[in-house]
Amino acid sequence: MKRVHALLVALCCFAILGSTAAFGGTTLRVASMGEPASLDPHKVSGTWENYIVGDMFLGLTTEDPKSKAVPGVAESWTVSEDGKTYTFKLRKSMWSDGTPLTANDFVFSMQRILLPETAAEYASLLYIIEGAEAINTGKAEASTLAVKAIDDYTLEIKLTGPAPYFLELLTHYTAYPVPKHVIEAKGKEWTKPANMVVNGPYKLVEWLPNTHVKLTKNDKWWGAADLKIDDITFYTQEDRAAVQKRFRAGEIDVAMDFASDQIEWLKKNLPDETRIAPYMGCYYYPINSAKEPFTDVRIRKALSMAVNREAIVDKVLKTGELAAYSFVPPGVAYYDNPAEVEWKDTPYGERVKMAKALLKEAGYDEKNPLELTLRYNTSENHKRIAVAVASMWKQIGVKTELFNSEVKVHYADLKQGDFQVARAGWIADYNDAQNFLYLLETRTGANNYGRYSNPEYDSLMKQAEVTADLVKRGELMRKAEAMAMADQPVIPIYHYVSKNLVSKKVVGFEDNPKDIHRWRYVSLK
């Protein structure tokens, strides 16, 4: 019995310590709330993927704990007087296999993501670089990109126009370097744990689809000696209620979201662990304006007018979100007073009447109701909002069928244009209105989910791209946003707050407007 008792004690100790000794060191456990479509930086597009790859790779710049741009692989840089040429001095660093990382790796990587055959859905984010759009649309060779290695540790990048957000853009995964020597040797297999080579603080150990991704410290990273966390496990399940139970049981240290209907319980029982903060993003419903009958602006406008945003944020969510009548959220740099829909201040009852009238004009009434499918990805919050919106649309005679799928499938369908109306969210990659408004440009492609296309809108955004005067640039983008809000290719519903559960033993987790958290800054008590 003594031996049995000793064994039980040992097993209990192992269970308690398992979370911090799974790899023989300190382990952080994060619920990332989604299965990655890939871990190739040129193939990802979601926040749940960014939580993982953002500590596997580092760009020329990176984020500090407050998500502001700071030196990354680049130690320093200079900018030309016209704001269009950046020259970066790189630190001497290496890939996780010991191969030196040079300026040529950035040249290769930026060319690779823009090649049409790479099919990178986020490539248009780099169109500010001279030659990028022509390469991505198959009109020019990759070698024409204005990204040049002056020597092994000096990189020059030329832009089409001054971009006040460029250094912040370079923190984004579209600008991460990828290992040419490994990709050429392994092809599509390069992201497998046995093959993957990275330049960031953590490298891939294991990826078990729909279960977890495990990373461990990269001892070849220049700051490895200062890392407080040895290993990270990302749990990819999307069931917020199940994740909350695991958090309460001490099995998860950080949960990157929670179900809003739990807010009262959380505030009462886990007040210190419940973190809610302003978040630079927009929760919206894109409408597939390339498909009938949604090519008709009257239908799109009617659907938007019938959504009672205040009821959603005050009665469904109750966590401080702001009702959205513009696509760009408030507080974005160099962009005061985003352009809102003209009917924002019309009482909701009047809006319902106006929406009914618009549908009738478009040929839909009680005898011939508009029928549509509203798609959303797995989440208690998304489901509750979809149910509420379907009820609001019922008031104007619209019959709504709800369709749910996991996040990876959901966004794949959106990018293929396989939907009528769907749930989407956009979080700022950098603090600039252009990062939201470019989503509605014709040239944006897959991330312009509803395939909105307006030549005048595109022209205004092009003019803004080459305008150095920040005030004039803001005015051009505001005109473009006003045009989009009149055309209503998207239905803005609310502007986000971040909602995270963070254990009291986690040190260094900083709330910030982009809700980007690099685990290299975190430690455990």
Two tokens, residue 415: 């990018």
Q: For the range 390-395, what are the long-range contacts, defined as Cβ-Cβ under 8 Å and sequence gap of 24 or more?
A: 392/306, 392/307, 392/308, 392/311, 393/303, 393/306, 393/307, 395/306, 395/352
- Select from 382, 388, 432 the least CA-distant residue to 403: 382
- pLDDT score for 445: 86
Longest dimension (CA), the chain: 84
- pLDDT score for 13: 41
Residue 205, H or E segment: strand 202-208
* Peptide bond just before 100 cis, omega within 30 deg: no
CATH superfamily of this structure's domain 40-206: Dipeptide-binding Protein; Domain 1 (3.90.76.10)
CATH superfamily of this structure's domain 278-498: Dipeptide-binding Protein; Domain 3 (3.10.105.10)
Query: Could you tell me whether strands 424-427 and 154-158 are parallel, antiparallel, or unpaired per DSSP bridges?
Result: unpaired
- pLDDT score for 389: 98
- pLDDT score for 507: 97
- pLDDT score for 22: 38
Q: What is the spatial distance between Cα 436 and Cα 363, in angstroms, rounded to a whole number?
A: 33
Phi, psi for residue 135 in degrees, rounded to 5? -65, -45
> Which residue ranges does the chain devote to CATH 3.90.76.10?
40-206
> Which residue ranges does the chain devote to CATH 3.10.105.10?
278-498
Q: Is 225 helix (H, G, I), strand (E, B) or coil?
A: helix
pLDDT per residue rounded down to tens, the chain (525 residues): 344 444 444 444 433 333 333 344 699 999 999 999 999 999 998 999 999 999 999 999 999 999 999 999 999 999 999 999 999 999 999 999 999 999 999 999 999 999 999 999 899 999 999 999 999 999 999 999 999 999 999 999 999 999 999 999 999 999 999 999 999 999 999 999 999 999 999 999 999 999 999 999 999 999 999 999 999 999 999 999 999 999 999 999 999 999 988 999 999 999 999 999 989 999 999 999 999 999 999 999 999 999 999 999 999 999 999 999 999 999 898 898 899 999 999 999 999 999 999 999 999 998 999 999 999 999 999 999 999 999 999 999 999 999 999 999 999 999 999 999 999 999 999 999 999 999 999 999 889 999 999 999 999 999 999 998 999 999 999 999 999 999 999 999 999 999 999 999 999 999 999 999 999 999 999
- pLDDT score for 336: 86
- CB 340 within 8 Å of CB 495: no
Q: What is the spatial distance between Cα 247 and Cα 235, in angstroms, rounded to a whole number?
A: 11
Q: What is the spatial distance between Cα 265 and Cα 288, in angstroms, rounded to a whole number?
A: 38
Q: What is the spatial distance between Cα 91 and Cα 74, in angstroms, rounded to a whole number?
A: 6
- CB 147 within 8 Å of CB 106: yes
Q: Which burial class, exposed, middle or buried, applies to 453 when counting CB atoms under 10 A from its CB (0-12, 13-18, 19+)?
A: middle
Supply the angle between the helices 455-465 and 470-487 in degrees, to the nearest 10.
160
- Select from 425, 12, 53, 446 the least CA-distant residue to 215: 53
